[in-house]
Amino acid sequence: MPTTLSRRTFLGAAATVAGGSLLPHSAYAAPAIRRSRVAGFAAVSSANGLRAVERAVRLMQEGTDTLDAAVEGVKIQELDPNDMSVGYGGLPNEDGVVQLDASCMHGPSRRAGAVAALEGIKTPSEIARLVLKHTNHIMLVGEGAKRFALSYGYAEEDLLTPRSRERWLRWRANRGAADDWLDVATDEPTGMRPTGTINCNVINEAGDLSSITTTSGLAWKIPGRAGDSPIVGAGQYCDNEIGAAGSTGRGESNILVCGGFLTVEHMRRGMAPTDACLETLRRVVAMTPPRLLGEDGQTDFQLTFYAVNKKGEIGAASLYPSRYAGHDGTTASIHDTASLYKGPR
């Protein structure tokens, strides 16, 4: 049997392969190609977002875009008067005015939108999405943000509920011993200012990601204050090739480390979502000034990060033990976060 091939024989064999008549696999096997795959539908949110992740995943499974699904998820809390950290019924600033913040990112289009100090509109998540979809800007603030919302047919409403107004009146009465207001009885912890937000990060079966964060901000804040929630790269961040992340808690401490962006970058380096969140929290502690640390060296505030990666893996971590909502594409449930500190805040 000849050990060499003539040019004619070689070309004939090549033509046979090209035409679909394959040679034995053991003799001429093609190199294996490993393709990355995503785990499917998933969502992660703050603990008040159990209904949000349920709705977002269900909508994505029905074919809804990832950002639209996330917006519909967080709107549950924005419209819920019993959640005083978000939207309608949110706790007001020191003047008794509810000012809302939100930002969002859409992984496939690489676009973002945000609003800050928005008054009179219940669903800032929707207005942030309008900024993303219909303008060449990323953030609108204050009166301009409200006028923008009104131009799209949104109605201006009083966002204070009787319950949130009562909380504000009690705070105003008790905020200083030397003021002209008489102290009133309250069962609220002294010195504790309520914070709260909802962050939601989602991925669909095609591997497309989106993220959103919306809040009424720190209770009794100085009018005009904006935390991390409307800051793209802090309150939330999304990279369609890597993952998405966001936060709740003390916004100023998150802004200083660009926590949403930093968490996604940790995942880019190969960290799992929970590990990425923990690493960002270590950076937060390193950047915390002494006035915000207790005698034990631990922070006197809470901060939590939530993340999902391109594989559909979710995770969360906080400074102090907390909880978060997750959906694996099958069921939604509440989980304990990982934490840097083991004791209560």
Catalytic residues: 197
Q: Cα separation of 142 and 134, whole Å?
A: 18
Residue labelled with tokens 């390193």: 286
- Find out whether 112 and 138 touch, Cβ atoms under 8 Å: yes
> Helix or strand or coil: residue 128?
helix
Q: What is the DSSP string of 189-208?
A: PTTPPP---EEEEEE-TT--
Helices (H), 87-141: 124-134
Quick count: other Cβ atoms within 10 Å of Cβ 176? 10
- Find out whether 320 and 34 touch, Cβ atoms under 8 Å: no
Q: Cα separation of 130 and 152, whole Å?
A: 9
β-pairing, 198-203 vs 303-309, is unpaired
Helices (H), the chain: 7-18, 50-61, 66-78, 124-134, 142-151, 162-174, 251-255, 259-268, 273-286
Q: Cα separation of 84 and 314, whole Å?
A: 26
Q: Cα separation of 43 and 55, whole Å?
A: 10
**C-alpha closest to that of 315 among 250, 241, 244, 235:** 244
> At a CB cut-off of 8 Å and minimum separation 6, what does 336 contact?
321, 322, 323
Terminal CA-to-CA distance of the chain, rounded, Å? 82
